[in-house]
Structure 1
């Protein structure tokens, strides 16, 4: 038990719920998109992409967004562990907060890697594909799980 109280990482609180969608998940997503301190622009991108999602899928945008985050979230990840001069990729379980953050990062990376359209459209397309278990972000999750499965023999090196 630490004598000085909680470490800074443990004290860090989640952002307040988004005013438009009343969701902490959306607020965290806006903060991930936030670039060079332009939060209003990030909020506009998310709002526009939610409108596009609702138009294309004929479903509630929040339902599609939540489904996408749930399908893209990884359960396992690989961590490098050095044992006796050799470095092993050890599969470890991912904590829920980190897995959600990874899913958001993968969605953003996949959307940013698409070319030629506004960010709101690219993000909406990637969220729709993620909710259908398709797209680059879901592929990243599957690749991570496949690598973890391949390195399962090193799981006993977990620390």
Structure 2
């Protein structure tokens, strides 16, 4: 085999929610090694979600998990050169990579929003993603549409 299997990184749970998923998200949110700032942004956004939520029964962290689940893509397209032309081949995504892609989608779309501070941007994007709307959800739908359009090439799998 050309590539070696990478070892899965073991994450420590965060201090407030005792979730390893939160630690992974904060690592993606972090810039220039400023992890404490990334944690502050995340916790403030969860508090903001708590204030603005519609459903009184769900907590902020549950809404965030639902948003991650809604943004998670299940298939992706990969380019492969066959017979002198590049073909987009739809492939399934592994569960670990699904979560990573969902996190990155949510963070990148939140960064492009027009609110004042990052925690407000993240809170708004999370709330809209949990309702199955917003930019991150639209990007996920776009990925699925592209994969559906190229379904005819799925027999060329890697």
TM-score by length of 1: 0.92
Q: Report the equivalent of 2:147.
A: 148
Q: Which has the higher helix share?
A: 1
Instruction: Give the gaps of 5 or more residues in structure 2.
Output: none
Q: What is the CA distance between 1:46 and its match in structure 2?
A: 0.1
- Give aligned pairs, total: 153
Residue aligning to 1:79: 78
Partner of 2:129, secondary structure, is helix
For residues 97-134 of structure 1, the C-alpha deviation after alignment (integer angstroms, 9 at most, x for no partner) is 11111111111111111124100000000001111000
Any stretches of 5+ residues in structure 1 without a counterpart?
A: 2-6
Q: Secondary structure at the match of 1:92?
A: strand
2:67 is matched with 68
State how far apart, in whole Å, the 1-side matches of 2:140 and 2:119 are: 22
2:129 corresponds to which residue? Answer: 130
Equivalent residue number for residue 50 of structure 1: 46
Residue 105 of structure 1 aligns to a residue whose secondary structure is helix
Indicate the SS of the match to 1:17: coil
Deviations 1:47-101 (A, max 9, x none): 0000000111043011101101111100100100111111000000011111111
Counterpart of 2:22 in structure 1 is 26
| Alignment-derived partner of residue 40 in structure 1 | 36
Kindly state the Cα deviation for residue 38 of structure 1 after the two structures are TM-superposed: 0.4
TM-score where L is the length of structure 2: 0.93
Aligned-partner SS, 2:90: strand
- Give the RMSD, CA atoms, in angstroms: 1.3
What stretches of structure 1 move > 3 A for 4+ residues in a row?
Answer: none
Q: Once the 2 structures are TM-superposed, how far is the Cα of residue 14 of structure 1 from its aligned partner?
A: 2.8
